Structure 1
Amino acid sequence: MQLKQLLVVIDPTQPSQPSLERAAWIARHSGAALELLLCEFNTALDAGVLFDSAKVDKARQSLLAHRREWLEQLAAPLREEGLTVTCEARWGKPLHKMIISRVLELKPDLVLKTAHSHGLLRRLLLSNSCWQLIRYCPAPLWLVKPEGKWLGKRIAVALDPTHSADKPAALDHLLIEATQTLGQALGLEDHYLHSYAPLPRTLVFDAELVADYEYYVEHTGERHREAFEQLLGQHAIAKPRTHLLQGFAEETLPRFVEDNAVDLLVMGAIARGHLDTALIGHTAERVLEGVDCDLLVLKPQGVPAH
């Protein structure tokens, strides 16, 4: 994973831009170039509603010019620091498709976007751009949580060596390599996590298994520990920074993040069918609601954009 070009999504509706603050921090440590991307759309300027197309287009271009001026103001102090910053303002919707379109053109190493938490209803309706980008953005997606406190000290990665979430085996290695690269480039202490959850006793209907439930739990833990250690053994990782957690990921990962002051949690995600994601969501999506740190989402290499 390289850190040469970052694409930063700017929100024109917000006075502060946490994604830009994080991108600037990364650029200062890595020397990466930044592009500030602002996507604008206003139904009042949708062609053919009240005015003729020429007037609508002129008003739209005027608004985009105003937005570009604002982007240049955001970029100016960063350029004075010696950072390389370019600006891009575009008209269109939906936001996630506009972002993906620019990703395919620019081919950035990272896309950074501020992630504001939303309720379950919004996720079920697939109406939030973050959920869509988690599924379909072809570049690594760094979601900045404004509620968290950025210390810039620790990075943790959630791994799935048993592939219970149907993730390709190569994805775990990609996650590890990305974590090691970011840890070295950004001066972050790296940690490696695997969370597993045995079936609760109340959900085990096999009489023989219930009779020795404790053995089942112990055997399940050993199986996951062996798979975890086998995966980590293929990389240069210090054992004190490896953590096997018992419980559901959406519960154990946020707790680990909070207890250990993790700044960035790295996760893998794959896109499934619309109905599947609408009903149960990805682990990455559920964790996003629960953690107060930044989240970096990577997909298997070669996954096409939606």
Structure 2
Amino acid sequence: MKLKMLLVVIDPTRQSQPALERAVWLARQSRSALELLVCEYHATLEGSSLFNPSSREKAREKLLQERQTWLETLAQPLREEGLQVQTCVRWGKPLHEVVLARAAELKPDMLFKAASDHGALRRLFLSNSCWQLIRHSKVPVWLVHHGAFGGYRRLCAAVDPLHSIDKPAALDHRLLIAARELGRLLDLEPHCLHCYAPLPPSMLFDAKLVAEYPEYLKSNAEQRHLAFDQLLTQYPQIRPYSHLVEGYPEEVIPHFVRSESIDLLLMGAVSRSHLDTALIGNTAERVLEEVDCDLLVLNSRAEK
């Protein structure tokens, strides 16, 4: 995983910038450059009859210049400590389209964005722009919690070696490579989790299948263990922290994140189509809605 340029979406409406905080932490370790991006838009300055075209244009330019000046106040202290930081202000909506357009131009190695802030609630609430970035970004998307940041201790890659949810095999390897390299770079325990749920007996309507159910459970477990073991042969640094758990992913993964104090969860997202309303899969979406740690999502559409 090369890390030369990190793109950070800055929210000009908030005083705290947790996405910038995480990106700076990573940049200090990797010596990556940073771009701070603000996306601005106000309908009254676009086509409102309240202002003539010339006045609207001047008002937009003034607003964008104010944002640029403000971004520079965030960037300058980072430059003074030796980081390479550039700033960019763009006009347009919706937010995710402006961000994706800038990412296509800049070609960063990672994209940082803060999730929605829901006060004392622990869950990572994802806004519509977060979901759209997950579905369509061609670079890994790091979604960040609001709140105090005291560093990380553990990360975890959630994999599916038998691809029961149609996740491409290459995506598992990209997740494990990212976990290995981030673990080494940031001095984190690189955990790996695979969870699976056998077909419940209540769904068997054939007497022969019911009679063979114990053998099915044994065979399924052996197959999972074998596939998981084979996947990890290339990642000896991760093997001591590997976990194979029986249960539904949307239940097991959030519970595992909490019980093992995981700070960063790595997941693969599989876009189902090229439609704007494309889903990434019901299982993945339910998992992402329930976790309470930062997320690093690699999309199956991403450039290799």
TM-score where L is the length of structure 2: 0.89
Match of 1:122 in 2: none
Match of 2:180 in 1: 180
For the residue of structure 1 that corresponds to 2:47, the secondary structure is coil
- Residues 139 and 302 in structure 2, CA contact (< 8 A), matched pair in contact too: no
Match of 1:121 in 2: none
For these two proteins, the number of residue pairs brought into alignment is 296
For the residue of structure 2 that corresponds to 1:62, the secondary structure is helix
Structure 2 stretches lacking a partner, 5+ long: 119-125
1:222 aligns with 2:240: no
Match of 2:121 in 1: none
Cα distance in 1 for residues equivalent to 2:136 and 2:2 = 20
Cα distance in 1 for residues equivalent to 2:51 and 2:276 = 40
1:196 aligns with 2:196: yes
Percentage identity across paired residues of the two chains: 53
Instruction: Provide closer, same or farther for how the CA distance between residues 117 and 272 of structure 1 changes in structure 2, counting only shifts above 3 A.
Output: farther
For the residue of structure 1 that corresponds to 2:139, the secondary structure is coil
Match of 2:283 in 1: 283
Cα distance in 2 for residues equivalent to 1:181 and 1:301 = 21
CA RMSD of aligned residues (A): 2.4
Shift of 1:276: 8.1
Residues 222-274 of structure 1: per-residue CA shift (max 9 Å, x gap): 21111111111233345321110111112111111111111111111121135
1:146 aligns with 2:149: no
Shift of 1:127: 7.3
Cα distance in 1 for residues equivalent to 2:20 and 2:207 = 56
Match of 1:241 in 2: 241
Cα distance in 2 for residues equivalent to 1:227 and 1:81 = 46
Cα distance in 1 for residues equivalent to 2:78 and 2:149 = 22
Shift of 1:202: 2.3
Instruction: Provide closer, same or farther for how the CA distance between residues 276 and 301 of structure 1 changes in structure 2, counting only shifts above 3 A.
Output: closer
Cα distance in 1 for residues equivalent to 2:211 and 2:43 = 64
Shift of 1:212: 4.3
Cα distance in 2 for residues equivalent to 1:71 and 1:112 = 16
Instruction: Provide closer, same or farther for how the CA distance between residues 95 and 238 of structure 1 changes in structure 2, counting only shifts above 3 A.
Output: closer
Cα distance in 1 for residues equivalent to 2:117 and 2:278 = 18
Instruction: Provide closer, same or farther for how the CA distance between residues 226 and 39 of structure 1 changes in structure 2, counting only shifts above 3 A.
Output: same
Match of 2:38 in 1: 38
Structure 1 stretches lacking a partner, 5+ long: 119-125
Counterpart of 2:61 in structure 1: which amino acid? Q
Instruction: Provide closer, same or farther for how the CA distance between residues 170 and 75 of structure 1 changes in structure 2, counting only shifts above 3 A.
Output: same
For the residue of structure 1 that corresponds to 2:191, the secondary structure is strand
- Residues 10 and 37 in structure 1, CA contact (< 8 A), matched pair in contact too: yes
Shift of 1:147: 5.8
Cα distance in 2 for residues equivalent to 1:217 and 1:53 = 70
Q: Kindly report structure 1 stretches of 4+ aligned residues shifted beyond 4 Å.
A: 147-150, 274-278, 301-304
Counterpart of 1:14 in structure 2: which amino acid? R
Shift of 1:150: 4.9
Shift of 1:213: 3.3
Residues 146-170 of structure 1: per-residue CA shift (max 9 Å, x gap): 2686531111101111111112211
Shift of 1:91: 0.4
Match of 2:17 in 1: 17
Match of 1:159 in 2: 159
Instruction: Provide closer, same or farther for how the CA distance between residues 127 and 232 of structure 1 changes in structure 2, counting only shifts above 3 A.
Output: closer
Match of 1:261 in 2: 261
Counterpart of 1:107 in structure 2: which amino acid? K
Counterpart of 1:230 in structure 2: which amino acid? Q
Shift of 1:282: 4.5
1:46-85 pair list within 5 angstroms: 46-85=46-85
Instruction: Provide closer, same or farther for how the CA distance between residues 81 and 283 of structure 1 changes in structure 2, counting only shifts above 3 A.
Output: farther
For the residue of structure 2 that corresponds to 1:74, the secondary structure is helix
For the residue of structure 2 that corresponds to 1:156, the secondary structure is strand
TM-score where L is the length of structure 1: 0.89
For the residue of structure 1 that corresponds to 2:184, the secondary structure is helix
For the residue of structure 1 that corresponds to 2:36, the secondary structure is strand
